[in-house]
Structure 1
Amino acid sequence: MNQRPDEPLVGGEAQRLGAPTLAEDLLLLLFQPGTGTIAGENTLFYTLAGAVLADLALGHHVRTDTGWGGTTRVEAIENRPPSDDILRSTWDYVSQKPRGVQTVLAAIGPTLRSPLLNRLIKRGDIRRGTRKALGLFNTTVLEDGGSGRRGHLLEDVRDVLVEGTEPRPRVAALAALLSGSGTLPQFHHEIPWTSPVITRAKELEQGNWGAGATAEAVARTVTATIVNNVIIAATVLPRN
């Protein structure tokens, strides 16, 4: 029996997808179940690309260095390719030669939304539904898949930003990217947009993740560099 492309996977089929990437988690958080929209769509490809690079940094697959004129470049760590297909594609791209962070963001970002969304649908985190438009036409909409995973991710980020919990590196990167995307104010019902939250979010963007993240110093520094380049790209560079 053939499976529909948007039908959730089960059992061993779901396991073959592997653990969710940081970019999947970020896209799931940015999904707004109440409206079926993705927060920050205008600059989404910069944000998702930043999450891919941050994931590679956390896995010690890439590092950054300083190029001509003080620009920050990304280079692949030799013989450390990731197993995930999406991460591997980016690793292959930067393994050809070190490239500027902004160059990588612009090169890989535009192609990420669709495959990442399809993964979330196959995992059952999001589903495609239909609604009547103008009472006449059926339109495809995104709906909550009922897996509960978005709620858990949001709780982890809230604990760090509101309660001051020391984050695991992955949660710290996720919160930093969410802040860097400029979408945090849209989460005010779950994460109050207060001065302490803003201050904590900025600390995470800068790589100040807490004493427990000392062992992740390199990945923390690389991730902070990537997040700050995402912010620059999202606020300064032309948007299509």
Structure 2
Amino acid sequence: MTVSTIPAAPLIAEDLLLLLFDPRSGTIAGEGTLFYTLAGAVLTELVVEEHVTVDERPTLTGPRVTAVTSNPPADPLLHDVWEPLTTKRQGAQSLIAEVGPQLRGVLLDRLAERGHIHREEHKALGFIKTTALVDGGTSRRAELLDAVRPVLADGAEPTPRSGVLAALLSASGSLPVLDKDIPWSGAVYTRGKELEKGDWGAAAASEAVTRTMLAVTTASAAIAISSVQGG
């Protein structure tokens, strides 16, 4: 019997990466800025689960992030990001740039272990080893799309999870590339930007603090991504 080495509940960043994965082509949308996107998702989860607090006052490296020492995350990936913040708070943008580069591989490992994505080894020209990403055949990505698509395309009020994912997809800048799964339009663009700012509708009024913190973290990710795309 194989014993799983990862927590049962998927991280927001795992679900985000799975949404960005195109099972038709085996590619991931927004590869050029992916580490900013995934790090923004990790930071968002730390905020949403109240493992960290964010001081919204602007600094050169973004809003300051501080660990809530009484509430350590159980997930080992989140814990590795959280632990250094217990002794030194850090700007959100510098934190995103620091933790982002190693996330793609770690999160793909998790998706592979869960069976959502497979890695297939190939040889180009008979000797150059390459790795292709292949759809694992689970229903997880379709379920995520069913939750996120109406939030973006139809203006439906989100659940906390679908709202976070929709906002992060928008902040990633990859929604136009996902047109086959979430039809792209000016309305989808506008809705995504509203979600980034925490505008989730009256039903989410009780989530005001969470929405404010999400707005801070997605804005930090978007600023970082824009600076790379512009350069």
Q: Same fold (TM over 0.5)?
A: yes
1:149 aligns with 2:126: no
Cα contact 2:6–2:110 (8 A) shared by 1: no
CA distance in 1, matches of 2:146, 2:38: 20
CA distance in 2, matches of 1:68, 1:157: 31
1:36 aligns with 2:30: no
Cα contact 2:56–2:216 (8 A) shared by 1: no
> TM-score, normalised to structure 1's length?
0.88
CA distance in 2, matches of 1:28, 1:149: 8
Pair 214,14 (structure 1): closer, same or farther in 2 beyond 3 Å: farther
CA distance in 1, matches of 2:194, 2:187: 11
Deviations 1:135-170 (A, max 9, x none): 776632110001110111112110111122210112
Structure 1 counterpart SS, 2:95: helix
CA distance in 1, matches of 2:206, 2:58: 29
Pair 143,68 (structure 1): closer, same or farther in 2 beyond 3 Å: closer
1:227 aligns with 2:218: yes
CA distance in 2, matches of 1:135, 1:194: 43
Structure 2 counterpart SS, 1:107: helix
Correspondent of 2:46 among 56, 63, 75 = 56
Matches within 5 A, 1:178-189: 178-189=169-180
Aligned to 1:207: 198
1:127 aligns with 2:110: no
* Identical positions, percent: 50
> TM-score, normalised to structure 2's length?
0.91
Amino acid at match of 2:169: L
Quote how far apart the aligned CAs of 1:238 are.
8.0
Structure 2 counterpart SS, 1:165: coil
Quote how far apart the aligned CAs of 1:215 are.
2.2
Unaligned 5+ residue runs, structure 2?
none
Quote how far apart the aligned CAs of 1:35 are.
1.4
CA distance in 1, matches of 2:20, 2:227: 21
Aligned to 1:83: 74
Aligned residues: 230
Unaligned 5+ residue runs, structure 1?
2-8
Quote how far apart the aligned CAs of 1:133 are.
3.4
Cα contact 1:169–1:209 (8 A) shared by 2: no
The worse-fitting range, judged by mean Cα deviation, of 18-27 and 95-104 is 95-104
Quote how far apart the aligned CAs of 1:224 are.
0.8
CA distance in 1, matches of 2:91, 2:152: 30
1:92 aligns with 2:118: no
CA distance in 2, matches of 1:131, 1:27: 23
Aligned to 1:21: 11
